[in-house]
Amino acid sequence: MTLELQATPEEVMRAVEAVQELARAHGLSEKTIFGLALALEECGSNIVNHALQRDARQQFRVAVELTGRSFVIELRDRGPAFDPTSAPERPPRADDDDGPGGWGIQLVRRHVDEIRYQREAGENILRLTKRLPADTHSV
Amino acid sequence: MPLEIQVLKSMSPQAAGSVTIKLNGSLDTATAPELERQLTPVLGGAIKDLAFDLAQLKFISSAGLRVFSTARKTLRERGGQVSFVNMQPQIQEVFEIMKSLPGVAVFKNVAELDSYLAARQRSHTENQ
């Protein structure tokens, strides 16, 4: 499944709902679905709010690959190079926390098994992988 | 998934002046601004105690946590706090990230929250 999306919060949630639907159709647990939805919401809104500055004329892409063993969400955007995986792990500050390495990336780290970043031909490519129990159906 | 927001002012004498906000649906990057908008007049009043009832909240992301945290900051400045009640397990997991912040209290259910608010109300009255 591949979605071309405009850089708006509503489009991020359109992708989240599509992923939830796909994951549900393949019998993934509600806990896994919640984690995937959360990771995509955080990374997608990061692209929209920071990389693409909420410019609705800009586009980004979400692709999903489901094998028997893993659920992979790939996000691609043409914003400035930014590697969210390079944000240091640190405890939450005792204040509102919206910077790099803030709550968003911490939540992504907690809910998927692997986060990989690549910069290729002017694109940010972020791959989120969630390993699945052995008996999940593939597409 | 949309977010339904219900703002309820307490009628019980034990919890006078406290406000409960019931959230139903998804508190995310698309819906958080609406909650923020509806919170502005609530926080603009003199209230010290604000409770969020999350029994029907199905999804939350850091965008939602940030709205809660802004409310926490505002109330803390006037000696108040934000309480959360009826959190579902997955919401609770996301919430872990901010529950240790000062000015945040978490309760299992409304009965627990009410007895806490009543005790706070008594101490406010005694201090006046």
Q: Kindly report, residue by residue over B59-117, the tens digit of the pLDDT.
A: 999 999 999 999 999 999 989 999 999 999 999 999 988 877 788 899 999 899 988 88
Interface of B with A (CB under 8 A): 1, 26, 28-30, 33, 59, 61-63, 65-66, 69-70, 73, 90, 93-94, 97-98, 100-102
pLDDT tens digits, one per residue of B19-48? 999 999 999 999 999 999 999 999 998 888
Q: Is the pLDDT of residue A100 over 50?
A: no
Range with the poorest average pLDDT among A83-92, A101-110, A119-128, B46-55: A83-92
Dist CA B118 CA B107 (whole Å): 14
pLDDT bin (cut points 50, 70, 90) of residue B12 is low
Residues of B in contact with A13 (CB under 8 A): 1, 26, 28-30
| Yes or no, beta carbons of B66 and A37 under 8 Å apart | no
- Tell me how far CA of residue A45 lies from CA of B60, B61, B111, B126, in angstroms: 13, 10, 37, 47
| Yes or no, beta carbons of B94 and A38 under 8 Å apart | yes
Question: Residue A75: what pLDDT?
Answer: 98
Q: Would you list the DSSP string of B80-112?
A: -EEEEES--HHHHHHHTTTTTSTTEEEESSHHH
pLDDT bin (cut points 50, 70, 90) of residue B1 is confident
Q: Is the pLDDT of residue B127 over 80?
A: no
Per domain, the residue ranges of chain B are 3-116
Question: Residue B125: what pLDDT?
Answer: 73
pLDDT tens digits, one per residue of A74-96? 999 999 999 988 877 665 555 55
pLDDT tens digits, one per residue of A35-53? 999 999 999 999 999 999 9
Dist CA A136 CA B112 (whole Å): 41
Question: Residue B23: what pLDDT?
Answer: 98
Per domain, the residue ranges of chain A are 2-131
Residues of B in contact with A95 (CB under 8 A): 73
pLDDT bin (cut points 50, 70, 90) of residue B13 is low
Confidence (pTM): 0.90
| Yes or no, beta carbons of A41 and B61 under 8 Å apart | yes
Find, in chain A, the residue whose alpha carbon is nearest to that of B104: A94
pLDDT bin (cut points 50, 70, 90) of residue A137 is low
Residues of A in contact with B101 (CB under 8 A): 92, 94
| Yes or no, beta carbons of A107 and B97 under 8 Å apart | yes
A2-131: CATH, from 3.30.420.40, 2.40.30.20, 3.30.450.20, 3.30.565.10 = 3.30.565.10
B3-116: CATH, from 3.30.750.24, 3.40.630.30, 3.40.50.1000, 2.60.410.10 = 3.30.750.24
Q: Is A73 helix (H, G, I), strand (E, B) or coil?
A: strand
pLDDT bin (cut points 50, 70, 90) of residue A136 is low
